[in-house]
Amino acid sequence: MATCGEVLVKLLEAYGVEQVFGIPGVHTVELYRGLAGSPINHVTPRHEQGAGFMADGYARTSGKPGVCFIITGPGMTNITTAMGQAYGDSIPMLVISSVQSRSQLGGGRGKLHELANQSAMVAAVAAFSHTLMSAAELPAVLARAFAVFQAARPRPVHIEIPLDVLVENADALLDSQPVSIARPGAAPAAIEQMSQRLAQAKRPLILAGGGAIDAAPALLQLAERLGAPVALTINAKGMLPATHPLLIGSTQSLVATRALVAEADVVLAIGTELAETDYDVTFAGGFEIPGALLRVDIDPDQTVRNYAPALALVADARLAAEALLADLGALPARCAEWGAARVSRLQAQLASEWDAPTRAQTHFLQTVFDVLPDAVCVGDSTQPVYTGNLTFNPDQPRRWFNSSTGYGTLGYALPAAVGAWLGRRSGGRAGGPVLCLIGDGGLQFTLAELASAVEARTPVIVLLWNNQGYGEIKKYMLNRAIEPVGVDIYTPDFIAVAKAMGCTALAVEGEGQLRDALASAADRQGPTVIEIDEHNWQQSLGL
């Protein structure tokens, strides 16, 4: 007899799932009955939040949904933070959990791991949460989940399976087949109207978000055809090559960039929420789009949120960009001072305004990517990440992402980097190194996942930026004339802790030592922790 749990694993295989993250428990062992003989790889984090962050990082580098097996009750309360981060950044994640037997649901009888309504608790951080009331529902519910991942705004999906359903006879489902859903194309009438607006524009501009990553080739051609400056959100970094003359970067929170955006007469916003953490990260407001706004998004609601459009199109970003490119007719002469000329002036102005810490941290990032040019950098909420969001531009998408925007969780980078390393190698692909860029405060949130990285043989390189506490929050308090409280936290001996967990670990001072440490770390089979003292680094540069 094949149980529901065993058939679930077979269906996941059929949907192309290669990796699962989870911590086995008494309420999920029946999921592992099918996993033991499966080609699906399993990684055990040290906390369910780590499982969710690993799945998030895996999804971002592989382009496939990250999958988690999570136990009832505390497992689900633990993973909700990671689901919130994935929800905020539109990351596909499938969380499969157990739940009390059908006759016990909502009973309040003090059962092990019991919650009054687990599904309702999770619903706020999921595209949907479904309780599987019989094994027969399994193929249809999985099809719904993968329909979200394939053809809608990708967000976490939660499926909970009662303990008695997990062991139910599911022989009749062994021949179930996966469902494939095509993403929505672009309505010709809307494309015609948008292409006319863009063709007539004298100063067109493009704002692209993470939802447009797969549209990068077409969007690059569209920008070049229009001579349009391109501003990217953090999750869209790499859609244009770093040195492209039309690339503004991700500096929309800065006054000079906002002035450029305000000069545009037509703005194409594609795959972006136009939200605070993409455009108003200083929480001061002031980002304005006076020109005609054209919005393209796969989520109908999002096309009218935050900024009202003159025209809106619900479609896949790649299909829409390709359709716009094909439909563009003859173009009028552009303003001579627009396009690359205007971007060049902006870049020169910004470069002249960076302060000493920004220059020091930018030099740090440039050094890292000079040694490891094909690396993926997974960031936390820490000062060099904030700086990199402004000053660093990778040459390809899916190479720079972090938790400093959107939901804004601390501790994300380490487990997400483990998942990202596995994601880069999904489907047998070759992949370069994966960096975890994290502060000393953030690392203490998920420090135990160093053991997971060792156990999973993932050679992530942890770049620990140490400023002995919550440096950015301390600065924020001081700027608001608030006496700092709770920010000067105890800093452990990270080198000793990392070595005790089986990592290679060392502290570096100056560029030369950093270069040597990175080159050695790239050749190791296991994780490396490289500690950089913020003060010492800035002093080594004479800044």
pLDDT digits (tens, 9 = 90+) for 43-76: 999 999 999 999 999 999 999 999 999 999 999 9
Helix, strand or coil, per DSSP, at residue 416: helix
Q: Which fold has domain 4-173?
A: Rossmann fold (3.40.50)
pLDDT band for 428, please (50, 70, 90 cuts).
confident
| Mean pLDDT, residues 514-528 taken together | 95
Residue 257's contacts (CB-CB under 8 Å, 6 or more residues apart) are: 231, 248, 251, 346, 350
Is residue 365 within 8 Å of 391, Cβ to Cβ?
yes
pLDDT of res. 406: 82
pLDDT of res. 280: 60
Q: Among the listed ranges 331-340, 456-465, 523-532, which one has the minimum average pLDDT value? A: 331-340
From CA 59, how far away is CA 55, in angstroms rounded?
Answer: 6
pLDDT of res. 284: 65
| Mean pLDDT, residues 83-96 taken together | 97
Domain locations along the chain: 4-173, 188-350, 354-540
* Residue with more model confidence, 240 or 104: 240
From CA 533, how far away is CA 246, in angstroms rounded?
Answer: 36
354-540 and 188-350 share a CATH fold? yes
pLDDT of res. 1: 85
How crowded is residue 451: how many other Cβ atoms within 10 Å of its Cβ?
17
From CA 399, how far away is CA 378, in angstroms rounded?
Answer: 8
Q: Which of 535, 537, 533, 520 is nearest to 494 (CA)?
A: 533
DSSP 169: B
Listing DSSP states for 346-386 in one string gives HHHHHHHH--HHHHHHHHHHHHHHHH-TT-EEEE-SSHHHH
| Mean pLDDT, residues 467-496 taken together | 92
Q: Which helix (H) or strand (E) holds 528?
A: strand 528-533
Residue 430's contacts (CB-CB under 8 Å, 6 or more residues apart) are: none
pLDDT of res. 465: 96
The pTM assigned to this predicted structure is 0.95
Residue 542's contacts (CB-CB under 8 Å, 6 or more residues apart) are: none
The CATH architecture of the domain made up of 354-540 is 3-Layer(aba) Sandwich (3.40)
Residue 197's contacts (CB-CB under 8 Å, 6 or more residues apart) are: 266, 292, 294, 310, 311
pLDDT tens digits, residue range 115-165? 778 999 999 999 999 999 999 999 999 999 999 999 999 999 999 999 899
* Residue with more model confidence, 524 or 286: 524
Listing DSSP states for 70-90 in one string gives E-TTHHHHHHHHHHHHHHHTT
Is residue 22 within 8 Å of 9, Cβ to Cβ?
no
pLDDT tens digits, residue range 306-335? 999 999 999 999 999 999 999 997 787 777
CA distances to 10, 377, 426 from 433, rounded to whole Å, are 31, 9, 14
| Mean pLDDT, residues 498-506 taken together | 97
pLDDT of res. 331: 82
Question: In the predicted model, is pLDDT for residue 281 greater than 70?
Answer: no
**CB-based burial, 290-300: b 16+ in 10 Å, e otherwise:** ebbbbbbbbee
pLDDT tens digits, residue range 15-45? 999 999 999 998 889 999 989 889 999 999 9
Q: What is the mean pLDDT of the chain?
A: 93
Class of domain 188-350: alpha beta
DSSP 403: S
Strand order in the sheet with 528-533: 400-402, 376-379, 434-439, 461-466, 528-533, 504-508
pLDDT of res. 309: 97
Percent of the chain with pLDDT over 90: 83
Which residue stretches of 392-509 are H helix?
413-424, 440-443, 449-455, 471-479, 494-500
CA distances to 292, 440, 524 from 246, rounded to whole Å, are 20, 36, 38
